[in-house]
Amino acid sequence: MAVTAVVGCQWGDEGKGKVVDILSARADVVARYQGGPNAGHTVVVAGDQTILHQIPSGILHDRTVCCLGNGVVIDPHTFFQEMEELTDRGISVKNRLWISPQAHVIMPYHRAIDEASEAAAGNRKIGTTGRGIGPAYTDKYNRTGMRVADLLAPDFEERFHRAIEAKNRILVELYKASPLDERLVLEEFLRFREQLKPFAKDVSVVIYDAIRNKKNVILEGAQGTLLDIDHGTYPYVTSSNPTAGMAATGTGIGPRHIDQVLGVFKAYTTRVGNGPFPTEIMGDLQTSFREWGGEYGATTGRSRRCGWLDLVIAKYAARINSLDGWIITKLDVLSHLDEIKVCTSYKYKGQIIEHFPSESWILKAVEPVYVTVKGWSKDISGIREYGQLPVNCRNYLDYITEFTGVKINMVSVGPDRDAVIQFR
């Protein structure tokens, strides 16, 4: 397995949590490279569900070391809450969970500004998760952020005072919102500072040593390719790079150390939040999809918008991430349908577009061009061998491979850890 990057290839929620959990059974180290508690990675073991927002899904295997890389933004509130939940389930994180000192911290003012700026944007809002992600990354790139290292530094209180004073002015003067209580927030962060100390470690060194010792490493992406700040449907994106290039930068390893990139792709398409979505289904069928697939956000509980499989996106994701293999998830959800539509190109002003366009006004106006394929109308959730799948189901999978030129490594046919078909 060596070093494997696992990336989401749609608008997030492709089922990366389950995939990373399965791959982690053979992994020594699992590292998250971007994003923060905006992610919601759901893992089901023997019917028992765990939702992780910040801690890598690999933590459910007790010998796996988990890291949060420098590219991640960390909210100590959620981090310790999640850790407590794991401890309650008898999962110990002691000496196997590390946070890069270079990772940035989501401060309460980041959350407050996220909420206030979304409220002020009215119908132009992005529909963020409200977790402070954008404002935390804004500060990072503005060089005014608070890293884990800064939280632990001797001049933390001074930095903190400067930061909260400036942010309170933004909250009050720009957004007409309430200021944060500096003393209360400081007290809380002085506690977090002590609690975080034992977890701070140079993650780049942890991963580099693992690579030198021929261990298996997984670099776990959050969100998806189309939410990428550079390659996604800007401005309706998150504020980091979920794409494979960030797997190196966000953990502090060189790109040539990555041996393979696996792309997680749902057998249909979903999106949470606002922004263009060419294959979105309207009406009752959208509601049915949502019910069949349980398409509600693991972080915010919001309903997901649902649509047909879009192979223009698949081809784009394969190119942007240099994919070696697909992991197709939620194939069982399509068992309810007699006929399935697959988008193979877009039409814009009478012209066929084969490549995913970067101009938002084009994407908003495109018309999807579909082929209709026969469904299999049969429960496949108990199948564990490719050869046992109904022929129309195999045809569906083969079509994805043929169209994108990327082979399939694994298919998921149900929420549980063992509901997968591995391809050799």
CA 9 to chain centre: 9
Residue placing its CB nearer to ligand IMP in the complex, 238 or 409: 238
Q: Would you count residue 216 as binding ligand IMP (CB under 6 A)?
A: no
Q: Minimum CB separation from ligand IMP for residue 412, in Å? A: 17
Nearest Cα to 49, choosing from 415, 382, 303, 418? Answer: 415
228 contact partners, CB below 8 Å, separation of at least 6: 237, 238, 240, 241, 242, 243, 320
56, 76, 101, 134: which one contacts ligand IMP (CB under 6 A)? 134
C-beta of residue 421 within 8 angstroms of C-beta of residue 381: no
Total chain residues near ligand IMP (CB under 6 A)? 21
Helices 182-196 & 76-88 angle (0-180, nearest 10): 50
R_g (Cα) of the chain, nearest Å: 21
Strands 325-329 and 260-266: parallel
Residue placing its CB nearer to ligand IMP in the complex, 193 or 305: 305
Stretch that binds ligand IMP, among 105-113, 129-137, 248-256, 345-353 (CB under 6 A): 129-137
Nearest Cα to 260, choosing from 329, 322, 327, 328? Answer: 322
Distance CA 9, CA 266 (A): 9
User: Is the backbone peptide bond immediately before 235 cis, with ω within 30 degrees of 0?
Assistant: yes
CA 237 to chain centre: 12
Site track for ligand IMP across 381-410, x = CB under 6 A = ------------------------------
Residue placing its CB nearer to ligand IMP in the complex, 40 or 245: 40
Q: Minimum CB separation from ligand IMP for residue 227, in Å? A: 5
C-beta of residue 10 within 8 angstroms of C-beta of residue 225: yes
Q: Minimum CB separation from ligand IMP for residue 277, in Å? A: 11
Helices 133-141 & 108-121 angle (0-180, nearest 10): 110
Determine whether 41 is an active site residue.
yes
Q: Which of the residues 59 through 88 are near ligand IMP (CB under 6 A)?
A: none
Residue placing its CB nearer to ligand IMP in the complex, 101 or 134: 134
Q: Minimum CB separation from ligand IMP for residue 275, in Å? A: 6
Determine whether 13 is an active site residue.
yes
Q: Would you count residue 37 as binding ligand IMP (CB under 6 A)?
A: no
Phi and psi torsions of 105, nearest 5°: -100, 135
Phi and psi torsions of 34, nearest 5°: -160, 175
Nearest Cα to 289, choosing from 333, 335, 342? Answer: 333
Q: Would you state the torsion angle of the CA atoms of residues 105, 110, 112, 115, taken in this order, to the nearest 10 degrees?
A: -120
Q: Minimum CB separation from ligand IMP for residue 298, in Å? A: 8
Q: Would you count residue 112 as binding ligand IMP (CB under 6 A)?
A: no
Q: Minimum CB separation from ligand IMP for residue 132, in Å? A: 8
Stretch that binds ligand IMP, among 94-102, 122-130, 284-292, 372-380 (CB under 6 A): 122-130
Angle at 395 between CA 330 and CA 314, to 5 degrees: 55
C-beta of residue 329 within 8 angstroms of C-beta of residue 412: yes
Q: Would you count residue 272 as binding ligand IMP (CB under 6 A)?
A: yes
Residue placing its CB nearer to ligand IMP in the complex, 12 or 101: 12
34, 57, 129, 243: which one contacts ligand IMP (CB under 6 A)? 129
Residue carrying structure tokens 């190196």: 248
Q: Minimum CB separation from ligand IMP for residue 148, in Å? A: 20
Residue placing its CB nearer to ligand IMP in the complex, 115 or 150: 115
Nearest Cα to 317, choosing from 3, 1, 12, 2? Answer: 12
Site track for ligand IMP across 234-253, x = CB under 6 A = --x-xx--------------
Stretch that binds ligand IMP, among 32-40, 187-195, 211-219, 375-383 (CB under 6 A): 32-40
- Which active-site residues does the annotation give? 13, 41
Residue ranges in contact with ligand IMP by CB under 6 A: 11-13, 38-40, 126-129, 131, 133-134, 222-223, 227, 236, 238-239, 272-273
